[in-house]
Each structure stands twice: as C-alpha cells, then as structure tokens.
C-alpha cells in the first residue's frame, strides 16, 4: 500500500513537471522576440549551435520561426556600403553569420539556413520589391530583392527579415539604414505582401488568383506595414482602388511603433468639409491621440475602455490629421485633404 502511494506520488510529480515544460513552450511573440534578441554569446558560435539553442527553447515550429526571425532581424546589420557601391560581399549563410552584415540575399539565405537546421520547411524567394527609392511609374522588371516563406501548421507563411530589421533613409544621395525591429514582416497576409513584393515565380504569391507583373506595377504604393498595422483592411483597399480611379489613401507617415489601431476612419485621402466623418481608434499605448484640423486641436471622446471616437462635422478647408500629442507639438501620423 505504501509503495503504491509512493509510485502515485512520483507519477504526479512527473506529470506536473511535464506539464510545466509544455506550458513553458507557450511563449507570446513578444517573449520570443526578446529571447531571439538576447541569445547568450556562447550559443551564437555557429548556425548549428544557435539552432540547437532554439530547439531547446521550444519544439513548436511557429515559435521557432519567430525566434529565427527575431535573431536575424536583431543581429544582422544592413550593408549600406555594399548597397551604395553595388560591390557585394559573399551572401552565403556562413559568411553572413560570421560578418553579421548583409543585403537582402544574405538575410534570406541565413534565415533559410537556420530554418533548415530546425527542420522547418523554408524557401528563399527572389523577386521585385517596391522598397527604398521606388516611385510610382518606375519599371518593375527583373529581380531586386529576396525574402522567405516558411511552412508550419500545414500552411506557407511569408516574411521579410531584411525589412524586419529596419529601413533606409536617403542621406545626401545615399542609403543610410536605421535599425528598427519591425514585427509586421513576420507572417504577412499574402494580399498585403503583394502590394510591394512580386515574386519571380507566381507560385510564391500564395494566392488562388495570380497577379501579373503589369497588375503589380499599377497597384497602389504606400507604407504598407504602418497602414495595415493601424487597422486598414486590405480587401477594402483593393475594392476601392479597383472601382474608384480617383481613390487614394490618406498620407501615412512611418511609425517606429504603432501606438493605436483604427477601427473606423475614411479610406480616401480627399474628404469633404460639409460631410460627416466618424473616427474611432483603439489606443495601444499611453500616447494621447488627437485630431488636428489645420491649427485646431481636437481631442477624442472616450467611448469605452481604450476605445476613443469622434464625429467630425463642418471641417475647415485644408488638412485634417491624426497624430500623437508630444508636449506642445503634434506628431502627424495620418493626413487627409479637406475640400
């Protein structure tokens, strides 16, 4: 009897311990991002050792892919010198892992190499991207970028670790990268991804109806990561852009982190002063979000919890902005033209 009690007790301990191990694998993306960013140096001695470290963290393929994305985006710097001079270094995974810098091909190859070590199906995709320096009307021929797709949960997921690591600014005619981790470029909706990523092989669009290069050329060009993180709906944008030749999104300024989500707002950049316009936002931070009609500062009304709204009537001709109050100034995020 005593031995049975001991055995049951030991089995209970084993069950609880096993449960804790499984439960510990249920990380949030924020937690995985932190783990990927702060990997111990002795675990970064080789691609194999880094992969083994990730394997010990979690066996979940989705979570492992996020760890890889976080590590690559945080630890590989964009090679501005190579991009500006058009003299490129070895883009192989081993070379990039050693130098810790690359252009897009190197990011993509390294991302795939780590996924391969983790037995995560992954492909490196070549194509054309409407990225740094692109303007509407420019040709979209050839290949100028590389990104990835990984398979987990029986589906393929698009991601761009290069753009996830930051973005480039034009400084005195040359690209100067700014390292800003962007979570948007992990597991992007294929419809959203195609606004600025056109794969050389149409199978990597991962869409039932393929888009031609000519259609891609004519698609709207805008700051997709900010627009879609703010809550604008990709299907609504596609419908409006295809049915209204004058349709144009409001001007969206790049945000290092999106501090609010738009639940309701006009999709067209041009709005009429005499019409009624309803705005509803969900606040994601402690920032104070405001409306600015020319020089008139307008506060949102608290609807419930973190949701704020404002109905605007009889606007002044000129401009209407949504922005963040920074002391006496307003950091403009979204701009409309009022006619």
What's the CATH number where 290 sits?
Answer: 2.60.40.1930
Walking along the chain (339 residues) 10 residues at a time, the average pLDDT comes out as: 44 38 68 98 98 97 98 98 96 98 98 98 98 90 96 97 95 94 97 96 96 91 89 92 87 77 94 97 90 96 93 96 91 94
What are 33's two structure tokens?
């991002």
Does a structural domain hold residue 122? yes
Does a structural domain hold residue 232? no
Single residue among 221, 238, 270 that ends a domain in this structure: 221
Distance from C-alpha of 77 to C-alpha of 79, rounded to nearest angstrom: 6
Distance from C-alpha of 186 to C-alpha of 134, rounded to nearest angstrom: 22
The pTM assigned to this predicted structure is 0.86
- Of 186, 252, 187, 197, which Cα lies nearest the Cα of 219? 197
Q: Is 180 in the same domain as 100?
A: yes
* List of residues 6+ apart from 330 with CB closer than 8 A: 290, 292, 297, 321, 323, 324
Single residue among 205, 221, 237 that ends a domain in this structure: 221
Beta-carbon-side half-sphere exposure of residue 230 (alpha carbons within 13 Å): 26
Count up the domains in the chain and report the number: 2
Residue 95, pLDDT score: 98
Single residue among 170, 203, 221 that ends a domain in this structure: 221
Q: Is 275 in the same domain as 193?
A: no
What are 16's two structure tokens?
């609880």
Residue 256, pLDDT score: 66
Domain containing 178 equals 29-221
Phi-psi region of 260 (alpha: psi -120 to 50; beta: other; left: phi over 0): beta
Does a structural domain hold residue 8? no
Residue 245, pLDDT score: 82
Distance from C-alpha of 50 to C-alpha of 39, rounded to nearest angstrom: 8
């Amino acid at each position: 009897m005593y031995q049975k009690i001991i055995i049951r007790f030991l089995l209970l301990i084993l069950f609880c311990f096993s449960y804790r191990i499984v439960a510990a694998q249920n990380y949030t993306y924020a937690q995985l991002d932190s783990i990927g960013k702060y990997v111990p140096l002795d675990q970064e001695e080789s691609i194999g050792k880094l992969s083994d470290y990730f394997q010990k963290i979690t066996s979940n393929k989705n979570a492992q892919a996020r760890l890889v994305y976080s590590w690559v985006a945080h630890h590989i710097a964009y090679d501005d010198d190579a991009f500006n001079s058009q003299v490129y270094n070895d883009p192989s995974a081993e070379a990039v892992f050693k130098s810790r810098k690359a252009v897009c091909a190197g990011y993509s190859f390294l991302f795939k190499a780590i996924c391969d070590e983790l037995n995560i199906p992954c492909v490196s995709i070549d194509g054309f991207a409407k990225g740094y320096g692109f303007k509407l009307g420019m040709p979209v021929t050839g290949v100028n970028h590389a990104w990835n797709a990984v398979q987990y949960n029986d589906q393929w997921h698009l991601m761009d670790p290069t753009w996830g690591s930051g973005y480039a600014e034009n400084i005195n005619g040359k690209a100067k990268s700014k390292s800003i981790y962007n979570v948007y470029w992990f597991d992007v909706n294929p419809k959203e991804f195609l606004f600025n990523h056109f794969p050389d092989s149409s199978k990597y669009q991962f869409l039932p109806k393929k888009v031609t290069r000519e259609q891609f050329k004519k698609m709207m060009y805008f700051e997709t990561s900010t627009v879609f993180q703010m809550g604008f709906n990709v299907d609504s944008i596609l419908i409006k852009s295809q049915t209204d030749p004058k349709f144009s999104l409001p001007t969206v300024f790049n945000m290092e982190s999106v501090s609010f989500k738009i639940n309701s707002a006009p999709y067209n950049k041009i709005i009429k002063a005499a019409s009624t316009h309803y705005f509803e936002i969900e606040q994601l931070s402690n920032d104070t979000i405001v409306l600015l009609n020319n020089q008139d500062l307008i506060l949102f009304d608290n609807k419930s919890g973190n949701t704020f709204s404002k109905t605007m009537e009889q606007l002044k001709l000129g401009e209407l902005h949504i922005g963040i109050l920074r002391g006496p100034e307003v950091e403009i995020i979204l701009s409309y033209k009022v006619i």
